[in-house]
Amino acid sequence: MNSKMRDEYDFSKGKRGKYATRYAEGANVVVLEPDVAELFPTADAVNRALRAIAEVAPRRSAPKAKKKTGKS
């Protein structure tokens, strides 16, 4: 078998499909800047902070579509 995999890669203890269920449920990945990651080191910490902000943030309705007047 002609593999381009490097010799130092060792997947002998890997488990096929370990995260397949979680991935199938949907995943949103957000990359935090290092300074923010220090403040919120876990997904739970990030989610709690965002939920707290969402509770106090003003709600905005979707912008209304502009009517076309036919004028240029």
pTM of the model: 0.47
User: Where are the chain's structural domains?
Assistant: 26-55
Cα 6 → chain centroid: 29
Q: How far, CA to CA in Å, does 68 sit from each of 6, 61, 62, 72?
A: 60, 21, 18, 10
So what's the pLDDT on residue 58?
Answer: 86
Going residue by residue through the chain (72 aa), what tens digit of pLDDT does each one get? Answer: 567 888 888 888 999 998 888 888 877 788 899 999 999 999 899 999 999 999 999 887 767 777 766 665
Q: Which two tokens stand for residue 63?
A: 């912008």
